[in-house]
Chain A
Amino acid sequence: MLLTKGIIASQKRKIIMLIIALSISAFMTLLFFSIINVGNIFASNTAVIKIDILQLILMSLMQASLTTILSLSAGIAIAWALNRLEFFGKNLVVSLFATAIVAPAMVVAFGLISVWGRAGWIAQLLEFFGLSWNFSIFGLGGILFAHTILNGAFAAHILLARVDAIPARKLKSAQSLALTPFKRFILLDWAAISGALPALGSIIFLLAFTSFPIVLMLGGGVANQTLEVAIYSAVRLSFDLDLAVKLSVIQLVLCMIIIFPAIISNSNLANAGVNYSYKWQQKGLAQFTQIIILVLAVFAFALPLLAILIDGIAGGILDTLSRPSFWQASFTSISIGSLSAILTLILAVLIATGRAAFSNGILKAILGLPVFAYLVIPAVVLSLGFYLLSNKLDIATSTSAPFVLIIANSLLALPFAIAILAPAIETINYRYDKLSRSLNLSSLMRWRIVEWPLIGREIGIVLALAFCFSLGDLGIISLFGTNEFTTLPYAMYQSLGVYRSNDAAVIAAFMLILCLMVFWFLPVIFRKISNAKN
């Protein structure tokens, strides 16, 4: 009897999950049709647009390909160095690279200009020694540099987890066989990381392909424009919705093609656990190379962040903080970030729980559809969909803007949230599902005594990630922002547009500090709260 009740409760759960997943997918489809219904996308184009589109596609593809190659190379090198070297403050360096995923791209771009720009730190230093600085941070070089710093650090964090998980026995075997550093890398490290490369490469390619703030800020002109920026320009600057729609459809199709290898390769980025029990350091040239790599990586990644903080404090902080508009933008950003994070968590928990409950591959795949939503639908395209939907429903964009921002940012964070929660929830389900059902635990009770105590830390990470993504978003707000409705990234971009770089510096520093605090402390707080109840 008890078991029957448990099974019925479980069936109800499954149905609810399926409805949610289908609702999200249907919502995406609705947005997609809102986009393609605006104009006849198959209508003949003028010769000028055709050439522009081709150039845009080529530029986007080339930039993303180069970014992927550079970022994966940098990520592998940094992971290799971090795995081998032991030093005071190593955990801090690892945490620093982990922040790459949440550091707002426009803030990092701003930091890069502060360091590498014509009037930046490096230029000033060289000038002090009577040397000139001819490097331009604007253009393809700047875009690649910024993307490699962010995505390389992200790749390093993912790959390090896999190299760190190489079993101690395997390491000891290899050491007793006296493998050279090169053979060790090929036989142990490459075997550990190669499985993650197709998925990681696809994600980095998509992030670069759909990159918006960095290309917008560092592109330096039309020649380096990508599809994403062109969509924004079409809507915001020339109000050419037909062109925006065409570009969005091309962007969507290309993104779907790009994500395909990641799906069929069946590679995953799940953390494989860490081998704390044994470390094998190899001295000589290998160790020297590792030190050089790590110093360069920390220098490249930390310096822009440091520049943001110093420029923010030095840039007339009191003047900016005394403006009501700054606090209004902060309030909007924090409110939307918080609500968006909560919505992301609710959706992610429901979908991940649903996926864990289903053994049927097709139903699991249906529930997994939202996982790829963000990766396939770029922020500006999603924003355009909402923008057109608002117009179609005769809702003023000023009215719909807060809701759009909450929902859109939540959807964009969903794949990352599910990637974090799903493995933990699947493990819990595997271990405790039968026991919970036999005890006839209600969904709420099961959540309270089984799931919550075991995934508290993951919940903290999901909330932190979703909050930071939302806080740093420029893609969604780019089409909805007005003088009356402003978020921090939008206010920062507006300040840069009118050459108030001091204001922009303060906002950038504020956003960076907020992101780092949330990203570092929220998971710890949630782990403690959930453990206290365990």
Chain B
Amino acid sequence: MLRINNIEYSYEKEKQKYQYDFSLKAGETIVISGVSGVGKSTLLDIIAGFLTANSGEIILDKIKLANLAPEHRPISILFQDENLFEHLSVEKNLGLAFSKAIIDKEKIAIALKNVGLMGYEKRWAKNLSGGEKQRVALARTLLRNKPILLLDEPFSALDKKTAKDMRLLVKNLVKQYKWHTIVVSHNIEDAVELNAKNYIMKNGILKKT
């Protein structure tokens, strides 16, 4: 269970206060929508540790995450873009999932197969399409297999069909690997196709719809 307990945050020189309070079970997905600049991505930054909340707690199965540096949190994060190092091959990008210098090629091949990119190891990240890049990033998430998955507008740069395929892929992987998944999105289809709970950010407060 991931618990976001009464988190409050406000940016310097801004009066607006953002408040978040909810929980989600393993294998569950929530989609947070709302207009631009309303504080949706701020929540992901707080959970990932890029921002420090003014108050409140983030607890994953009794472990308090606030005490951990971003690099030590059990989290995978995917953005709309900039998820890959474009000057590296797919294999090297995926190799970053391993903490040791040795790259497990077999695991990489399996992860790529799971995201529908079998045999892509030697391709350059910069030569991939937008959808393929997101799939490679997702494959890296599989290899890391962290219990929390944060997705910040992950499908918004993709065409309609690719976005639909990606949603289906994410839905299946979340179910299979029991990730706690939080998606920030503008698109209403995301919640429906990810079989997710719907939340909306309004006037600085996150509410269930």
Binding partners A and B: yes
The stretch among B68-76, B112-120, B175-183 that forms the contact with chain A is: B68-76
Q: Does B199 lie at the interface of the complex (its beta carbon under 8 Å from any beta carbon of A)?
A: no
B48 in contact with A178 (CB, 8 Å) = no
Chain B interface extent, by class: 20 to 34
B50 in contact with A173 (CB, 8 Å) = no
B72 in contact with A178 (CB, 8 Å) = yes
Bound Cα distance from A170 to B88, whole angstroms: 14
Query: Which residue from B50, B81, B88 sits with its C-beta under 8 Å from A187?
Result: B88
Report the minimal beta-carbon distance from A106 to chain B, rounded to whole angstroms. 42
1/0 per residue, CB under 8 A from A, across B74-99: the answer is 01110111110101100000001101
Instruction: Name B82's closest neighbour in chain A (CB-CB).
Output: A169
Bound Cα distance from A278 to B45, whole angstroms: 10
Q: Which residues of A contact B87 (CB under 8 A)?
A: 191
Q: Does A172 lie at the interface of the complex (its beta carbon under 8 Å from any beta carbon of B)?
A: yes
B96 in contact with A177 (CB, 8 Å) = yes
B71 in contact with A176 (CB, 8 Å) = yes
B70 in contact with A175 (CB, 8 Å) = yes
B83 in contact with A173 (CB, 8 Å) = yes
Report the minimal beta-carbon distance from A236 to chain B, rounded to whole angstroms. 51
Query: Which residue from A173, A178, A187 sits with its C-beta under 8 Å from B77?
Result: A173
1/0 per residue, CB under 8 A from B, across A272-315: the answer is 00000010100000000000000000000000000000000000
1/0 per residue, CB under 8 A from A, across B111-151: the answer is 00000000000000000000000000000000010000000
Query: Assuming A176-B48, A176-B77, is B85 touching A187 (CB within 8 A)?
Result: yes
Residue in B70, B71, B72, B79 with the greatest tally of chain A CB atoms within 10 Å: B71
1/0 per residue, CB under 8 A from A, across B97-108: the answer is 101000000000
A172 in contact with B79 (CB, 8 Å) = yes
Interface residues of A in 169-217 (CB under 8 A from B): 169-170, 172-173, 175-179, 183, 187-188, 191
Bound Cα distance from A176 to B141, whole angstroms: 11
Report the minimal beta-carbon distance from B66 to chain A, rounded to whole angstroms. 16
Instruction: Name B73's closest neighbour in chain A (CB-CB).
Output: A176
Interface residues of B in 9-51 (CB under 8 A from A): 45, 48, 50
Q: Which residues of A contact B79 (CB under 8 A)?
A: 169, 172-173
Q: Which residues of A contact B81 (CB under 8 A)?
A: 169
Bound Cα distance from A213 to B22, whole angstroms: 68
B70 in contact with A177 (CB, 8 Å) = no
Q: Does A141 lie at the interface of the complex (its beta carbon under 8 Å from any beta carbon of B)?
A: no
Bound Cα distance from A489 to B31, whole angstroms: 67
Report the minimal beta-carbon distance from A286 to chain B, rounded to whole angstroms. 13
Q: Which residues of A contact B71 (CB under 8 A)?
A: 175-179
Interface residues of B in 45-65 (CB under 8 A from A): 45, 48, 50
Query: Which residue from A173, A177, A179 sits with its C-beta under 8 Å from B82?
Result: A173
Query: Which residue from B72, B73, B76, B82 sits with its C-beta under 8 Å from A167?
Result: B82
Residue in B76, B82, B87 with the greatest tally of chain A CB atoms within 10 Å: B82
Q: Which residues of A contact B83 (CB under 8 A)?
A: 169, 173
A191 in contact with B77 (CB, 8 Å) = no
Instruction: Name B85's closest neighbour in chain A (CB-CB).
Output: A187
Bound Cα distance from A178 to B82, whole angstroms: 16
Bound Cα distance from A179 to B71, whole angstroms: 8
Q: Which residues of B contact A167 (CB under 8 A)?
A: 82
Query: Assuming A177-B97, A178-B72, A191-B87, is B48 touching A170 (CB within 8 A)?
Result: no
B48 in contact with A172 (CB, 8 Å) = yes
Report the minimal beta-carbon distance from B39 to chain A, rounded to whole angstroms. 15
Q: Which residues of B contact A280 (CB under 8 A)?
A: 70
Q: Which residues of B contact A169 (CB under 8 A)?
A: 79-83
Bound Cα distance from A278 to B77, whole angstroms: 16
Bound Cα distance from A183 to B79, whole angstroms: 21
Q: Which residues of A contact B50 (CB under 8 A)?
A: 172, 175, 278
Q: Which residues of B contact A188 (CB under 8 A)?
A: 85
Residue in A167, A176, A278 with the greatest tally of chain B CB atoms within 10 Å: A176
B75 in contact with A176 (CB, 8 Å) = yes
Query: Assuming A169-B81, A169-B82, A278-B50, is B70 touching A176 (CB within 8 A)?
Result: yes
Instruction: Name B87's closest neighbour in chain A (CB-CB).
Output: A191
Bound Cα distance from A278 to B82, whole angstroms: 14
Instruction: Name A183's closest neighbour in chain B (CB-CB).
Output: B96
Q: Which residues of B contact A172 (CB under 8 A)?
A: 45, 48, 50, 70, 77, 79
Bound Cα distance from A177 to B82, whole angstroms: 13
Report the minimal beta-carbon distance from B59 to chain A, rounded to whole angstroms. 19
Report the minimal beta-carbon distance from B102 to chain A, rounded to whole angstroms. 14
Bound Cα distance from A244 to B144, whole angstroms: 67
Bound Cα distance from A179 to B144, whole angstroms: 13
Bound Cα distance from A406 to B37, whole angstroms: 52
Bound Cα distance from A280 to B88, whole angstroms: 22
Q: Which residues of A contact B70 (CB under 8 A)?
A: 172, 175-176, 280
Bound Cα distance from A176 to B137, whole angstroms: 13
Instruction: Name B45's closest neighbour in chain A (CB-CB).
Output: A172
Report the minimal beta-carbon distance from A317 to chain B, rounded to whole angstroms. 45
Bound Cα distance from A187 to B79, whole angstroms: 18
B75 in contact with A191 (CB, 8 Å) = no
Instruction: Name A166's closest neighbour in chain B (CB-CB).
Output: B82
Can you list 7 A-B pairs with a CB-CB distance of less than 8 A?
Answer: A169-B80, A173-B77, A175-B70, A176-B71, A176-B77, A178-B99, A187-B85
Given contacts A173-B82, A176-B48, 20 further A-B contacts (CB under 8 A): A169-B79, A169-B82, A169-B83, A170-B82, A172-B50, A172-B70, A172-B77, A172-B79, A175-B50, A176-B70, A176-B71, A176-B73, A176-B75, A176-B77, A177-B71, A177-B97, A177-B144, A178-B72, A191-B87, A280-B70
Q: 6 smallest A-B Cβ distances: which pairs? A: A178-B71, A169-B82, A169-B79, A170-B82, A175-B70, A176-B77
